[in-house]
Structure formats: C-alpha cells, structure tokens
Structure 1
Amino acid sequence: MDTRFPFVDWFRNSSPYINAHRGCTFVILIEGEAVAQGRGEQLIQDLALLHTLGVRLVVVLGIRPQVERALNEDGITPRRHGGRWVADEAIMARVERVAAEQRLWLESRLSLGLPNTPLHGVEMTVVSGNLVMAKPLGVRDGIDFDRSGEVRGVRDEAIRGLLDRRSLVLLPPLGYSSTGEVFDLDAAEVARHTATALSADKLILLGEACGLCDDSGQLRRQLAPLEAEPQLAAADPGSEMARHLGAAVGAARHGVARTHLLSWQDHDALLGELFTRDGVGTMITQHRYEQLRRAGIDDIGGLLELLEPLERRGMLVPRSRERLEYEIDDYVVIERDGMVIGCAALHAFPDARMGELACVAVHGDYRGGARGDLLLGEVERQARSRGLDALFALTTHTAHWFFEHGFGLADVDDLPPLKREAYNQARRSKILIKALE
C-alpha cells in the first residue's frame, strides 16, 4: 500500500529494533577523522537519538588527525614503529591538550538544547575520567616507546554505575597507570577492551571504510572472526583497517555479541545499521546472523507471513495455522535476525520409501542468494537419514527450478498411495520426482 509519508513505513519496520535496543549497551568508536571532516555534528545528533531511545552509550573518541595537525604546526615529526608513534614528552603534551579540547567540544555539543535544533529538549550528562588503566608499551625491537601505552584494564563497575544513572560515558584514547602517569593509547584498543569488559551488546567502529569487501568489491554483510582473519593479516600495521579488524575479531572472541564496521562518511550509516534488517556495513559475530534450522511452534507466525503472499498468488496451497502447528516438525526454516525468510517441509511416506518436498518458499527480498538450494540440500539430507529413496514435489509455477535441481516429470501413478488419493485434479499440479543417491 502506498503512503504519502514513506518514512512512516520505515518507522513501522524499525520498531522491533527500537524495542530490542532499549537498555542495551553500545560502545561506539568515532575516529578523529569524522570530526576533522565535519561529520561530528550529525553523529552527535544520532547519539542523542540513541540516548532518548534508551540505549546505554559509551563513546570512544579518536584524536589522531587532530594531534598530527598540532605536531605539524609545531614542526614536530614523531618517530613511528609498527604503526604507533613514540610518544615522548613533547608529543604527549600535544596528545593531552588535544584530548582535553575534543572532550570539551563534544560535551558542549551534547549540551546544546536550543529550540529549532535536533537536540532541543534532550538532557544528556556526559562523564569522562580515569576509567581506563594503562601500562607502557616499553621497549619493542630495541625502541623505547616512552609514554605510548596499551590497555591494562577498564573500570567496568564504575562505567556501569554511570550508565545506570543515564550518563553517556566518554573515553578519550588515554590511560592512567598506578604510578600516576598518563599514556597515549590506540582508540580502537580502548573500544575493544571496554566492550569486552562491559559484555557490551554491540561494538560499533566508525571509520573511513564502509566495511569489508570481497575480491569483486562487493560488501560483505557478515563474517565470523575466522573469516575476517585473512584480511586482518594482510592489513598494514597501524592502518585503520588493521586496528578496526583487530578490535572486531578480539571483541567477538571475548563475548561481544556483534561488532559493526561502518563509515562515518555515510550520513545514514549509524542509524541505518541499527534500525534496518540488512544494515549498511559489515558485522563480525560468533553467532550466525542468518541460520538454517528446524522449525518450532514459535515460528508459526513467521511462516504464515512468509507463505501468505505466495498462497494469494496461487503458487502454494493455503495452509491454516492449525495445519502448520500439526506439521511443524516437518519444517526447516531460514531465520535472518529474528525473521523467517525461507522454509521447506519434508512429509515422509515411509511405506513407499518416498518423501514430499513441500512448501519451498523464500521471501521476495532475499531471492537470488541460493537459499532455495540450501533448503533443498537440507531436506535431501534429512530424507536420506530417514532411509527414503526419492523425493517428489507438486508445483504449478516453478517446474523449471525443480528440473534444474535433478527432478524429472512423473505421473500420478508414481505417487505414494495416500498422496495419489489426495491429488487435486482441478489444480493440475505438475508431478516431479528425484531419486536420492
């Protein structure tokens, strides 16, 4: 149905995510390039919106380009090794100054409540402090890194207490030692350790790249840590790709459910990733975002929604809720982030050593991705495990798909007796059979 206000449909479709994200903890890294390139204001508005929707926010703010500009203005060229600069006293003085400036800038923007601005009426308390503990990198390959450090720990209980009080926690890439020293840290490392310590629901890394692409340049929507490791190994040490991938893989392997790689150059990236089913970037997770599994009673509603358009077009025989409940053990489904996007059923006729491949359906938005092949392969596997010798199917619209997958035309007499008696002559479905090797 057409609507005068397209955003209304988007808002309706995003409502499950609004509910799901409420009360969740997100750790969001905003690289300094985003602020340097004028994207800070938009991101702040998006953070304020997430806050109003009940998301618990920890923001890690990168400052690398701002520090580099300060060093260039003062004619200081830092020594670098392994992707890190050696933070001596001169460099550290600039790091501390820039970190303070960026923190104050962010706090002031999040305090902006003027009428006619997106933040009007939004009250946010921003808290920063000595929440990240650090230790020196020390001497590496004969080079003393001085006040360049690495994360030793995160004061997670203190951060949780601040989040419980509805504060936004801001973490600059600085850490504090037990001896009172301040160390320069990698912002991505701070984000990873914080997300892990808090068992965050999401770690979101906003950099220049929109995510990870395959060899043909196509964006990869989801990877397991093991799948991301080849690109991590190939990335230049110290590059944004290496830093972000290292953080993502490490977080996924230490309990963070989902890590998202997004581009700050895309004005819609943060909200588009969080409030649409397919997102806009790359997600790295140990858990499968899309999975093939056996159906259960809780899938009945999703199956009805999936099948109804195909039944209305006459492609499938209508199935009542009661019938689906009775036959639910015969079904397998493809679930994508809580939504049933594909299904198939295996109705066994053991006496004839045959099985019916029934109700093969894939949501219109997800066709063309070999999901039908996946469903067929699972049904064939189940049929073989049950000692069946052949599969048969009845179809009025998709005979060619079955031909392409090894089925051949057959007659009513080739069906098992019970199915032969129930065959609907008025529907005139084509009968196709495939032998199982």
Structure 2
Amino acid sequence: MKLAVVGGGSTYTPELVDGIATGESTESMPDITEIALVDPDEARLAAVGGCCARMLASAGHPARVTTTTDLSTGVDGASAVLLQLRVGGQRARLADETVPLRCGCVGQETTGAGGFAKALRTVPVVLDIAARVRAVAGDAWLVTFTNPVGIVTRALLREGHRAVGLCNVAIGLRRLCAELLGVDLGRVRLDHAGLNHLTWLRRVLVTGDRGEVDRLPELLAEHGPRLAEHAAAPLDWLRRTGVVPSYYLKYFYDHDAEVRRQRAGVPRAQVVAEVEAELLARYADPTVVTKPALLDRRGGAHYSTAALHLVQALTGRRPGEHVVNVGNDGALPFLPADAVVEVPAAVDGTGARPLPVPPLEPRWAGLVAHVAAYERLALEAAVHGGRDRVADALLAHPLVGQYALAEELADALVAANREHLPWAG
C-alpha cells in the first residue's frame, strides 16, 4: 500500500513515520510499501524525508520513502492521502494569534477569528488539492489533519470527496483515561460529542466482567485534578457537571483571562517556529535514526496512532470505531445533516458513519449550534471570498458577536492575509 502525505515537509511527519516504524500500528500495517512525502519546500523535504527513511531502515521496516514537489506524482497510486498543510507557514500563524489580540479577542490558530483567518487561506488550497487527487487517484481516501478540521472537512464533503477529518484530542483523552484507570486502551470507548475543538467527554465506557461500564464518575472522583489540568478547566466545575471539555473550550469559558495570558506571554507561533528550526536541524543530521524527544514540544501527540488506525479502517484492513469529523447525518438532530460533527463513527472501507450518541444537554447544544452556524458562514466566505462575507461570519461567531468588532476584525484579517486571498486584490 502507498500512503501519501501532502505537507510531508512538516515537522509532524516523523511522528507519523515513527508510528509505522516502531509504534503500536506496526504489526497491523506491514503492507505499507511506500510513503510519499509531497511538499513545495525542497529543503524541508530533504531534511524530513531523509530522517524518515533512516527511521524506517533502523527499525527494519521495508517501506521506502519518496519525496516530490509534484502533487500528481506523489499521490499517484496512493490508497490514502493525509493532508497536514499550513498555508502561509508560521508567519501567517503569528498573524492569526496576534491580530485578534489587538482587537481584544483571543488569538488562536484554530478557534475564533484566528481560526477563521486560517480557514480563509486554507479551504481553497485544500479543495484544489482534493480535485487534483481525485483526477489522479480517484479511489484514495483523504484524511485531513489540517486545521480548522471541521470547516476543512465540511468543504471536502460538500464537493463529494472521500474525506474524513481527524483530530488528536479524542485519542489523547482516551489514552489518558486508560492510563489513569490502569486498563488496556482497547477496552476503552469514549462518549465524545460536539464539533471539532468544541467537544465534551460525557462517558468513559470500559469493557470488563460486568460488560461495558461508565467509569467517568470514578475518574472525576479519584483523578479529578489530572483531568482538570488536561482540560484547563476548574475541578469543581468538572465534578459539578460530570463532563470533561476539550481544552479548546477554555477560549470560550475563560476568554477574558486567556486574552490577558496571551498578551502577557510569547505567541505560540514564535515558540513553534523556534522548535521547528531545531527539529529540522536534527532531521538533517545523518546520525539521527529515531524520533527526537523535542518533537513532543511541537504538539500533535498520538497523531500517528490516530491517523494510522483510521487509514487501516478506511482501507478495509481493520474496520472499527473511531472518533472522527464526519457529516452529521442525524447524529446531533438539532444540526443540519450536512454539518460536520466530531463523534464516534463506524469506519470501514465504505467510509465513516456517525454512531448514535445521547442527546447533548442544552448547555452544550446551544454553543454547538451557534458555532456550527458560524462555520457554515465561514465556509461560504472561504469559498466565495468577499470582505462583507468575512464580516458576516465574524458577527455570527460567539467570540466576536458585535457589529463594530466584526467590522474591525474583518478589515484587519483581510489586510493581514491579502497575499493568500486572491479575491482581496
């Protein structure tokens, strides 16, 4: 099987290859024969590709690594294509994190105004890539890790592409819960529902002698501080509500404090740029044959496990249940069928189908409906362009929601991203 990675020059890529070479997915994916890394940056490709090839050779895995700047060459013959690109690089990310702050809004690359700016740059590029993949490798599955995952996945599905969105939040929570309970990961399922980066963990279902039992109450009672730290949420709130929110919900539930912290700190984009520079230097070192520990500071933990297991399911090798971003199709009845939700899904060679989940309580459902409406407007702005569409989407976002602020942010975001927005002139 050939696996293609678009954005293969990313410093994330050795995390993926480590999962193939030495991780828990190795035994179930012995048939990977080629990993094609596609990226317009030849220097990054050389460093990352060379390191990945050495990692596979050192682990004794037979797959070969190929690198190319030509998309058609890279995806030709691929069974699955992973999308992990960042339009504009860390320089654009820095704007995503700082421009909203100047307007008094949280600056984050996937949430709020910053996440919207990323969608404006990213969606047209991803749709172009997807169309070219379909022309060359029409049966290949697209697995997108590219943020904002919910909006990007919705764009792909709307155009009829064979696509599934993936985030590492759920796999991180699942692993943490298994660790705290001292049980095998395979025995743990999550009742995890909402939108990408807007989810709540409501049950931790563990299979044992008594069948499947929800052990989240036990986790909150015995390991509450650890869960609260992971979620960046108050412990008493977790125990009162009985849920664990995604840590991205701090940008909604603790917005003003987050703005103060961000203004007092160093932008994450600056930190990541420094980590990336050091990682690329290590990848270029011919003596490096394993994933550097420094990669843990880059983010994306457990990406390899989630991505590879999902690819196994989509290619019919290992059907199963995965928490993914998928068309709603009634999973959350208060949302349109074509909304993209993040829920457990049954995944096999025919695709991903959302599994039934218990109804979301009104206190969660209201925010989900609000953000889903914004995401629809954000997608229209990303596909069709126009400064007024940008302002309208911002006004619909719960973290903006004011006339003057939406107008100010629209002008600022368009100005900061003009080189990536052909319609902006």
Query: TM exceeds 0.5?
Result: no
Structure of greater relative contact order (alpha carbons < 8 Å, 6+ residues apart): 2
Sort the TM-score into its range (normalised by shorter chain): under 0.3
TM-score (norm 2): 0.26
TM-score (norm 1): 0.25
Greater helix percent: which structure? Answer: 2
Greater strand percent: which structure? Answer: 1
